[in-house]
Amino acid sequence: MGLKFIVKLVVDQQISKVDAMKAFLAFPIDVAFLSMSFGAAVLAGLGKPGGRTISATGVLVFAVACITVAIITTMFCKRSDRAFDLDKTWPVVGWGFLSYAMSFLAAAGSLQAGSIS
């Protein structure tokens, strides 16, 4: 993820402080969507012969939760970006903290998707 962030920021462009900050504020969106991939990989591994089974309801709940987290994280990121454009420091910090917290909690939770019954 860190490599993707750096490559996206520096390849074929001049880096400005504003661009770097905007990329930093948008990074949780990438983490939230990566969480879906982690969870899907964990759940796919459960379907192998000899593996645990998971109910269709569990998979549906997981999918809806991932989509909801991605939407809320995107909303928080956009609010922090708007606050950054308006030079409002504390809202940038607050919305940024919420977006990072939500996306990293989602990543940690998705790695535990195998415990869904």
Provide the pLDDT for residue 115.
Answer: 64
Provide the pLDDT for residue 50.
Answer: 65
Provide the pLDDT for residue 11.
Answer: 75
The residue length of the chain stands at 117
**pLDDT tens per residue, range 6-37:** 777 677 778 888 888 998 999 999 999 998 88
**pLDDT tens per residue, range 64-109:** 888 999 999 999 999 999 999 999 999 999 999 999 999 999 988 8
Give yes or no for residue 52 having a pLDDT over 70: no
Give the C-alpha separation, 65 to 5, whole Å: 25
CB contact burial 38-59 (16+ within 10 A = b; e otherwise): bbbebbeeeeeeeeeebeeebb
Give the C-alpha separation, 85 to 7, whole Å: 24
The token duo for 102 is 């939500």
- Return the percent helix, strand and coil in the chain, to nearest 5: 80, 0, 20
The pTM of the full predicted model, rounded to 2 decimals, is 0.81
